[in-house]
Amino acid sequence: MSTPAPLTDATLREAMAAELAPRLLAHIDRVVALTDELARHHGLDVALARLMAQGHDLVRAVPPAELLARAEARRLPIDIVEREAPVLLHGPIGALELRERFAVSDPRVFEAIWHHTWGHPDYTPEAWAMFIADKVEPSKTRKWKPLQRVHRIAFEQSLEAAALAYLDARLKEAVRDGIAVHPLATLTRNHLLRTRAGT
């Protein structure tokens, strides 16, 4: 009996392509390409980072009400910020469905995708590469200027410094617009501040 070939980003892409619109697939392709670049630049596990990037937006196009319904059906804890903006649930639901429907079994990939909206204090370097690539892929940096700085920091300093710059920019925007901040955005930012301070 032959053992199944390990899941790669290419085989996962093939499996996902049937259910994703070309626009979303194009975003994912750009994120995979930039993740690859960042992972190489920082000497990381490129195959692992690419797999995280390939899977990250599996259910990004599922309508908000449906995401909320899927989260409720699974009895996931739902934060009030997520209830008001159910699109934020596409990370957790995507991670769960990748495991169930696409045989994505690596817990590092699962955790990275679950938390890809705000990052996580326990993120691996590869997860940070995927996170940053998702935020600063070319079509996004064109639309929101602060992202150009995040992109620069990711290559010139570190992925964690870039993640902090990103969360800072989002926080400034939230304060300016009077919108709620997700608790995990604060936890992750506090962690990155502490790491930067070396404490």
* CA 194 – CA 146 distance, rounded (Å): 22
Q: How far is the CB of 123 from Fe ion (least distance, A)?
A: 15
Give yes or no for residue 134 binding Fe ion (CB under 5 A): yes
Find the Cα–Cα–Cα–Cα dihedral 113, 114, 120, 124, rounded to 10°.
-40
Kindly tell me which of 64 and 195 has the beta carbon lying closer to Fe ion: 64
Stretch that binds Fe ion, among 15-23, 51-59, 63-71, 169-177 (CB under 5 A): 51-59
Nearer to Fe ion, 36 or 134 (CB): 134
Stretch that binds Fe ion, among 57-65, 79-87, 158-166, 167-175 (CB under 5 A): 57-65
- Nearest CB to Fe ion, comparing residues 9 and 57: 57
The reply on whether position 82 binds Fe ion by CB under 5 A is no
Instruction: Between 5 and 65, name the residue whose CB sits nearer to Fe ion.
Output: 65
Here the tokens at position 111 are: 């955790």
Looking at beta carbons only, is 126 or 134 nearer to Fe ion?
A: 134
Tokens standing for residue 96 = 């769960």
Span near Fe ion by CB under 5 A; candidates 8-16, 103-111, 132-140, 184-192 = 132-140
Count of residues interacting with Fe ion (CB under 5 A): 2
- Nearest residue (CB) to Fe ion, 134 versus 160: 134
Per the listing, tokens 């892409």 go with 13
Least Å distance, CB 122 to Fe ion, is: 19
Q: By CB under 5 A, name the one of 57, 82, 126, 160 that touches Fe ion.
A: 57
**Using CB under 5 A as the criterion, which residues of the chain lie in contact with Fe ion when the complex forms?**
57, 134
